[in-house]
Structure 1
C-alpha cells in the first residue's frame, strides 16, 4: 500500500518542535532504534518498513516511499512514529543531572547516552534546552532515551525548591578530584558557549571543575558532552 500525502505531511511536520508538540508524536528511524522503543514503555503510533522485520504491526511500503518520509540521506529500512508520553514528576533524591540551556542536538543525545551508561535515571532540562524528541537527538541517543527519564521545567524554580546539594561546573571551580563527592545531589551543566547562566549560578552550592593537565593549558574549554562524561565518571567512580 502506498503512503498517502496526509501521512507524509504528518511525518514531515514532526521534524519541527511545533509539529511534535501539536501532534504529541515523534519519529524514530532504523531497525535497532525502533526495536529499543518497541521494547520500552513508549506507545507505538505507526510503523513503516520495507520488510517485515518487526513483531509489531507494520505498514509495508516501497523503498521509494521510505525515502519520501525519511530524514536520513540513506534511509534504513524503517520509520516509526511513537507517542510522546506525559511528563513524570522530578526525582527528589539520588544523583540528578540538570542542563542549563544546552542547544546542540548531538550534545543532548550524547548526554542522554551518558546518563544511561552511568546509571543517571533522571535528566532535568531547562525550557531552553533542545527538545529531546528532535530527530537528531533521537539518532544520537541510540535508544538510551527509553531508559532515561527526562523532564523539561523551569530550572531556576526546580533548583530553588530542591533540598539536594547543587554542584555547578565552572572553569574556576574546585577540581572534581580534590575531595569526596556525594552519592546524591544535582549536577548542573551549562550552555555550550556561555556556560551556566547567572540566575542558575547563584543557586549553586559548590562550584566544581575539570583540571587541565596539558603543559600549555591553552584550551579554552571542553565540549559539554565530554565534560559531562568526565564529571559523571568522577561522581560514580567513587562508589563503584
Structure 2
C-alpha cells in the first residue's frame, strides 16, 4: 500500500520546483526504471504491480499505481530516483544544443538520439523544459543515464567559448545536402514555435536547413526532434 506521505511526494514531483527542491524525479515503465537501476542511480522508492520485478520493489495493485502515476495510463513499475548532484563536462568534437524546447516529448527524443549517436552531453538553454520532467524521462527511454543535460544561463556565451563553429538549424539556411559537415562543430536547434532566439542567431556562424521537396504548398515545418534525427544522421554519415 502507498502511504499518504509517499503519495503526496510523488504527486508533488510532477512540478519542477519540487523536483529541484527535493532533488528527486519519477521514472515509469519497466525498461526505463531498469535502466536507472542498472546504472546504480539511487532509488528512494520503487513500486511494482508484479512480484518479481526487483527485490527492493514494493508490491502494490493497479489501483494504487493509478493514484501515483504521472500519466493517464499507469505503467506496471514506478521509481522515485535522486537526481545526480554533480556532473563532469566532457570535451567532444560534436556538440548538440537546444534553445527553448518546450515539449518534454521532443526533448526526451533528442536525448535518446544523442545516446544513439554516441553523444554524451546535451546543452540546454534555461528556458528549455526540465530533462527530469516525467514525460521527458519516459520519452528518453532511460537514455538519461548516458546523456547528461547541462542547463546554461548564457548558452550563447558558452557556445562561443568552445572555439568551434556554431551552426543553427533554421528554415532559411543552406541545404544540409549541399555541404560537407565539419568534423568539429556545435549544432543548435530552436523551439518548436519560435525557432532560435535572437541571442543565438547573433552568434551562429551559419545556418543549415532540411529542404522540402514538395513543389506546391505543404507542411510548414518539421518537428524539432525529427529535424535533429535527420541532422545527426547526416553529420555522422561515413
TM over 0.5: yes
Contact kept, 8 Å, 1:98 with 1:187, in 2: the verdict is yes
Give the match for residue 177 of structure 2: 177
Please tell me the root mean square deviation across aligned C-alpha atoms, in Å. Answer: 1.5
Give the match for residue 199 of structure 2: 199
- CA distance in structure 1 between the partners assigned to 2:181 and 2:95 by the alignment: 13
SS in 1 for 2:67: helix
Give the match for residue 136 of structure 2: 137
Give the match for residue 61 of structure 1: 60
- CA distance in structure 1 between the partners assigned to 2:52 and 2:142 by the alignment: 18
Contact kept, 8 Å, 1:98 with 1:189, in 2: the verdict is yes
Give the match for residue 82 of structure 2: 83
Give the match for residue 234 of structure 2: 234
User: Structure 1 regions of 5+ residues with no counterpart?
Assistant: none
Q: What is the 5 A alignment of 1:23-172?
A: 23-154=22-153, 155-172=155-172
Contact kept, 8 Å, 1:166 with 1:188, in 2: the verdict is yes
SS in 2 for 1:125: strand
- CA distance in structure 2 between the partners assigned to 1:146 and 1:108 by the alignment: 15
SS in 1 for 2:71: coil
- CA distance in structure 2 between the partners assigned to 1:87 and 1:101 by the alignment: 23
- CA distance in structure 2 between the partners assigned to 1:52 and 1:157 by the alignment: 51
- CA distance in structure 2 between the partners assigned to 1:184 and 1:121 by the alignment: 15
Contact kept, 8 Å, 2:160 with 2:166, in 1: the verdict is no
- CA distance in structure 1 between the partners assigned to 2:157 and 2:89 by the alignment: 12
1:131-168: CA deviation from partner (whole Å, max 9, x where unpaired): 01111111111122222121111212211322121111
- CA distance in structure 2 between the partners assigned to 1:91 and 1:200 by the alignment: 22
Identify which range, 5-14 or 65-74, moves more after superposition: 65-74
Aligned residues: 237
Contact kept, 8 Å, 2:168 with 2:208, in 1: the verdict is yes
Give the match for residue 213 of structure 1: 213
